[in-house]
């Protein structure tokens, strides 16, 4: 799935702010950052990880340094209608308030 998704989304900008859900349909947040392993000389750097949720937003704008919610790109099961669907077992557990 990850390779197919990379073919569909040819720019990182297309992923920004997409909704993230588990396979069961649980809302996890919106994408606020992407992580990849870039090497000098690489023409392309595949996405390794997506960062999402409230802490992802706070990290993005520089207001928080706690570890935001994230999942490896390899657990992405589907991309459909502006939603990234991730494997249930990879979805972060709900945080206690």
Q: In this predicted model, what pLDDT tens digit does every residue of 17-54 receive, in sequence order?
A: 999 999 999 999 999 999 988 778 877 778 899 999 99
Residue 6 lies in a domain: yes
State the SS3 of 24-53: CCCEEEEEEEEEECCCCCCCCCCEEEEEEH
Question: Into how many domains does the chain fold?
Answer: 1
Task: Say if pTM beats, i.e. exceeds, 0.75.
Answer: yes
| CATH number of domain containing 52 | 2.30.30.240
User: Does position 5 have pLDDT exceeding 60, yes or no?
Assistant: no
Confirm whether 97 is domain-assigned: no
pLDDT tens digits for range 48-88: 999 999 999 999 999 988 899 999 999 999 999 999 999 99
Whether 72 is covered by a domain: the verdict is yes
Residue 96 lies in a domain: no
Looking at the domain assignment, is residue 83 inside a domain?
Answer: yes
- Asked whether residue 8 is assigned to any structural domain, the reply reads yes
């Amino acid at each position: 799935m990850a390779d197919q998704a990379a073919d569909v989304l040819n720019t990182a900008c297309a992923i920004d702010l997409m909704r993230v859900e588990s396979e069961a349909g649980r809302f996890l947040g919106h994408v606020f950052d992407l992580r990849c392993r870039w090497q000098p000389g690489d023409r392309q750097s595949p996405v390794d990880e997506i960062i999402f949720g409230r802490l992802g937003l706070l990290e993005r704008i520089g207001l928080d340094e706690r570890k935001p919610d994230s999942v490896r790109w390899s657990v992405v099961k589907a991309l459909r209608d502006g939603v990234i669907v991730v494997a249930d077992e990879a979805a972060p557990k709900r945080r206690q308030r």
